[in-house]
Amino acid sequence: MAESATGEKLNYLNHERGLWSWLTTIDHKRIGLMYLFAMTIFFFVAGILALCMRLELFHPGPDIMTAETYNVFFTLHGTIMIFLFIVPGIPATMGNFLIPLMIGAKDVAFPRLNLLSYYLYLIGAVLALVALVKPVGPEFFSNFLTWLGLTGPVDTGWTFYAPYSLESGTAVVWMTFAAFILGFSSILTGLNFIVTIHKLRAPGMTWFRLPVFIWASYATAIIQTLATPVVGISLLLIILERVMGIGIFNPKLGGDPVLFEHFFWFYSHPVVYIMVLPAFGIVGEIIPVFSRKPLFGYKMVCYASLAIAFVGFFIWAHHMFVAGISDKSAIYFSIATFGVAIPTAIKVFNWVSTMYKGSIRLETPMLYAMSFVFIFLIAGTTGVYLATLATDVFYHDTYFVVAHFHYTIQGGAVIGLIAALHFWYPKITGKMYNDKVARSAWFLVFVGFNLTFLPQFVLGMQGMPRRYFDYLPMFEPMHQLSTIGAFINGAGYSLALLNLFYCAFFGKERAPSNPFESHSLEWQTQSPPIHENFEETPVVTDWPYSYGVPVEGGGHH
């Protein structure tokens, strides 16, 4: 085994040193970690914005901010969380780290393109930050900023709906251009993963020996490459309308704002599957390992990922039931939306059946995975209310949608990501996290999350409109519960991530190469892996879920 100058075993973290070696790396594992660092920062920034909003909503009436500030805060919370955190999300971090390892490859198909995706992501992030600048200072300077279009933080909501996004006096051009660049990054990542999974599988790694996370990532990558260009062109048209004065979406110039909504949701509905499909994959990896049972209905889980991606392209207008679309198309989109429940339910049933009569170990990743299943069940069933035309008319502009959305995306994608970070932590860092702290953090996250968003379902049913800065006194108790929950939730995430970062840098406990006794390929190499992943190209002879038989290289459990 090769050793570094200090006598440590050589791995991808220590084979090169220094900041420059990270900034210019084309190693998929390092790129995954660089995404993780950047995204963690944005997650906390957007999370703090959310806590400020919750604090403001603790009492009716203005408390800590004005209504205008509130509009800016919820736009930034949404934009940062969506475009800078959860859309790159699991694919950019865990996907980058795991896909080549899981299929037995040395890297992704286009490593330099992968690094380009990262820098496009950073450029998009910087543009989004620049868009926050307000015209201040001496007159010539503030005039210059105004001339550049930097007229203050965007207040349109993350959806940039026309015609308001065409009229708003804020820096919409900058923010939409940032989102456009981020979309480019997402397309290139998806393209890279599709080619990697097609071309770089190790000998013997047939399609039906692939881990379900690979299937989920593949389905995600298809959405990334096929849906993102459409939002790209919509945002580009918003920019053209504002800069050149043409009117594709502006009714004053002959355009149709509903067309923007169609374009936007043609991407932005599939994009929720970009967020949550990889989390499905992660849960599908974790549950068999900690149940010591083969994944139930493996092929159906694989097909369900593709089916969700496919159906996801044909149900976008269920976001527009109250936007004035025709009754006929509303009926079609309602029925088609129910269709997506089928592959989703297949997945849930398969996870639960995998656990049935398993030898379940409640390790931290498993606690998160089980919370995911519980939360996603609520997310899915409340989605049915919103797919139903008659009920959606009532619920659409209420907190019910806010709660449903956060149950799917925070309870789904974010908790999936946290589960993955714990599960693959020994592989990524070569260390173990502090288990007691990790469990306490999980408890805070789970309790805090449900306390935040369950009351919001009630608020929605009582008629509390979403995006409002103020409310009637009758909504106060539920808002207060929600605010308390949000702070517990925030404390949980902070504790979980602090634990992971602290143990990575200062932890003493070295992890064995396969502490959770997984059969998947990434656990068969050392922890952390060497620069090119495997000492020699592995040959695959079986699917990765033959649990119930002893495994070579088992850890301390």
Partner 1 sequence: MNSQTGELAGPPHVHHMDARTAYGAAKLGMWLFLGTEVLLFGGLFAAFAVYRWKYLGEFTHASKHLDWRLGGLNTAVLLVSSFFAAVAVDAAQHNDNKKVVRNLAITIGCGLLFLVIKYIEYSGKYHHGLFPGTAEWNSPEFNESYKCFFGLYFAMTGLHALHVIVGMIVLGWVLSLARKNRFSRKYYTPVEVGALYWHLVDIIWIYLFPLLYLVA
Which residues would be at the binding site for partner 1 (CB under 8 A)? 105-107, 109-113, 187, 191-192, 194-195, 198-200, 225-230, 232-234, 236-237, 240-241, 244-248, 252-256, 259, 263, 532
Residue 188: CB minimum distance to partner 1, A: 8
Shortest spacing between CB 497 and partner 1, in angstroms: 32
Q: Is the dihedral of CA 371, 208, 542, 424 positive or negative?
A: negative
List b or e across 150-161, with b for residues whose CB sees 16 or more CB atoms inside 10 angstroms: bbbbbbbbbbbb
What is the chain's percent helix, strand, coil content, to nearest 5?
70, 0, 30
CB of 194 to partner 1, least distance (A): 6
Give the whole-angstrom CA distance, residue 250 versus residue 457.
35
CB of 200 to partner 1, least distance (A): 6
Cα 471 to the chain's mean position, in Å? 30
- Secondary structure of residue 322 in the 3-state scheme: coil
Q: How far is 468 from 195, CA to CA, in rounded Å?
A: 45
Nearer to partner 1, 112 or 556 (CB): 112
Report, in Å, the least distance between residue 317 CB and partner 1: 14
Closer to partner 1 at the Cβ: 223 or 421? 223
| 62 or 251: CB nearest partner 1 | 251
Query: CB-wise, 79 or 192, nearer to partner 1?
Result: 192
328: Cβ contacts below 8 Å, ≥ 6 apart: none
Beta carbon nearer to partner 1, 220 or 452: 220
Number of H helices, E strands in the chain: 22, 0
Neighbours of 304 (CB within 10 A): 27
Nearer to partner 1, 130 or 236 (CB): 236
Smallest distance, Å, CB 193 to partner 1?
10
Chain CA centroid to CA 389, Å: 28
Find tokens 């149900």 and name the residue: 315
Query: Of 141 and 147, which CB lies nearer to partner 1 in the complex structure?
Result: 147
**Residues 288 and 547 sit within 8 Å (Cβ to Cβ):** yes
Non-local (6+) Cβ contacts of 31 within 8 A are: 25, 96, 114, 115, 118
Nearest distance, CB of residue 182 and partner 1, angstroms: 15
- Least separation in angstroms between residue 121's CB and partner 1 is 17
Residue 97 identity: F
Quickly tell me which residue has 């207008």 as its tokens. 317
**Contacts of 363 by beta carbon, 8 Å cutoff, 6+ apart:** 290, 435, 516
For partner 1, the closer CB: 195 or 323: 195
| Minimum CB–partner distance for residue 532 and partner 1 (Å) | 7
Structure tokens at 180: 């456009």
Cβ closer to partner 1: 363 or 522? 522
Eight-class DSSP state of 245: -
Cβ at position 280, least distance to partner 1 in Å:
23
Closest CA to 78 of 50, 118, 37: 50
Give the DSSP letter of residue 201. Answer: P
Give 253 or 362: the residue with its C-beta nearer to partner 1: 253
- Decide: 372 and 419 in contact? Cβ < 8 Å: yes
Mapping DSSP to helix (H, G, I), strand (E, B) and coil, where does residue 90 land?
Answer: helix
